[in-house]
Amino acid sequence: MSAATTVYNDLSPAQLVELGIARGEGQLADTGAFVVTTGKRTGRSPKDRFIVKDATTADSVDWGSVNQAFDPAKFDALWQRVEDYLETKDQFVARVHVGAHDEHYLAVEARTETAWQSLFARNMFIRPDTFNPRGKSEWKILNVPSFVCDPARDGTNSDAVVITNFSQRRVLLAGMRYAGEMKKSMFAVQNYLLPEKGVMPMHCSANVGEAGDTCLFFGLSGTGKTTLSADPSRYLIGDDEHAWAKGSVFNIEGGCYAKTINLSKENEPIIWDAIKFGAIVENVVIDTETRHADYDDTSLSENGRCCYPLSKMPLANRRL
Ligand code: MN
């Protein structure tokens, strides 16, 4: 670590937004949301996603074009290379949980190159009152978007990669600006780990009524999970990733990551109102003067997104 660089630990949203602006990572919208663009990748890159194939995973992963194998030695070399690269820069550490359940949470240290991706980690994962109360072995995320992978040297498919290493409990994101990769990588980890414990992970939204009646909404991306779960008369559990354990449906995440295409206050007032200070708006066109977002303008992406913690929702976070 050079004397000129700083490691920022568990900064608050206000500190992260201030630093994000000072470092030129994005700008404020008129609502106070932090606005970013992610370059050529504005959605996930399935061909750049790998899992380290070793004794832990060799017989338990359905290998193929979806779950591509990555060599353990190549992983170690690339992790070290990315870590060395990040040592020359400031870095942001967020300690979070993945899984809102006393027994089934993962304790995760997310190390990112940018302040805004640290804010994303805070928003989308869970900020516990006490980090890792059971003293579990921690997972580590290393997320360095400005690192450029070399396929010939690094064994990647392109200039960017997402690799999960279950034996070492590590997730490496290099060259990936689109923040959804970090969120989905940890869902994939829980998808692998939870079934072994008799818990079913589900790609669905969930809310619950006063009587404890839980409702799950299943559907592919863009079919309305977030919208349908944001019901003013019911408590939101979450909008995308849940797990069903004995006696409990719990959120894997701590925030929402909603599509913004054609978003309007009239049609989706709860989501609209959540896009305030502390929220992130990704790949949405902003007026240069008024800083008003134009959610109908898809010139940056059809997959414009906003990200906010569940605490921004009027009725949220009630545990069963
Ligand atoms: Mn989803």
Separation of alpha carbons 52 and 283, rounded Å: 31
Ligand 1 centroid to Cα of residue 68, in Å, is 21
Ligand 1 centroid to Cα of residue 2, in Å, is 39
pLDDT at 232: 85
Burial readout 275-312 (b: 16 or more C-beta within 10 A, e: otherwise):
beebbbbbbbbbeeeeeebebeebebbebbbbbbbbeb
CA distances from 169 to 54, 140, 219, 300 (A): 13, 6, 29, 34
| Residue 131 pLDDT greater than 70, yes or no | yes
Beta bridge partners of 207: 215, 236
Contact 243, 207 (CB under 8 A): no
| Residue 3 pLDDT greater than 90, yes or no | no
pLDDT digits (tens, 9 = 90+) for 182-204: 999 999 999 999 999 999 999 99
| Residue 284 pLDDT greater than 90, yes or no | yes
pLDDT average, residue stretch 59-87: 97
Ligand 1 centroid to Cα of residue 183, in Å, is 9
Separation of alpha carbons 60 and 154, rounded Å: 25
pLDDT at 318: 47
- Compute the mean pLDDT over every residue in the chain, rounded to the nearest whole number: 94
**Closest C-alpha among 76, 80, 143 to residue 111:** 143
pLDDT average, residue stretch 62-75: 97
Ligand 1 centroid to Cα of residue 158, in Å, is 24
Separation of alpha carbons 73 and 80, rounded Å: 11
Separation of alpha carbons 201 and 243, rounded Å: 4
Separation of alpha carbons 301 and 180, rounded Å: 14
| Residue 311 pLDDT greater than 90, yes or no | no
Amino acid at 248: S
Ligand 1 centroid to Cα of residue 221, in Å, is 5
Ligand 1 centroid to Cα of residue 204, in Å, is 7
Query: Worst-scoring range by mean pLDDT, 110-114, 125-129, 312-316?
Result: 312-316
| Residue 288 pLDDT greater than 90, yes or no | yes
pLDDT average, residue stretch 160-188: 97
Separation of alpha carbons 94 and 57, rounded Å: 27
pLDDT at 230: 85
**Active centre residues (catalytic):** 44, 184, 203, 221, 225-226, 240, 305
pLDDT at 139: 98
Percent of the chain beyond pLDDT 90? 89
Range 274-277 contact pairs with CB under 8 angstroms and sequence separation of 24 or more? 274/306, 274/308, 274/312, 274/313, 275/29, 275/31, 275/33, 275/306, 275/308, 276/31, 276/32, 276/33, 276/308, 276/312, 277/13, 277/14, 277/17, 277/31, 277/32, 277/33
pLDDT at 320: 37
pLDDT at 62: 96
Ligand 1 centroid to Cα of residue 257, in Å, is 8
Ligand 1 centroid to Cα of residue 23, in Å, is 30
- Tell me the pLDDT band of 2, cut-offs 50, 70 and 90: low
Percent of the chain beyond pLDDT 70? 98
**Closest C-alpha among 267, 280, 266 to residue 308:** 280
pLDDT average, residue stretch 76-81: 98
Query: Would you tell me how many other CB atoms lie within 10 Å of the CB of residue 214?
Result: 16
pLDDT average, residue stretch 101-113: 97
Contacting residues for 200 by C-beta, under 8 A, at least 6 apart: 194, 243, 244
- Tell me the pLDDT band of 319, cut-offs 50, 70 and 90: very low
Ligand 1 centroid to Cα of residue 85, in Å, is 31
| Residue 253 pLDDT greater than 80, yes or no | yes
pLDDT at 227: 86
Ligand 1 centroid to Cα of residue 187, in Å, is 10
Q: How many helices (H) and strands (E) does the chain have?
A: 7, 20
- Tell me the pLDDT band of 168, cut-offs 50, 70 and 90: very high
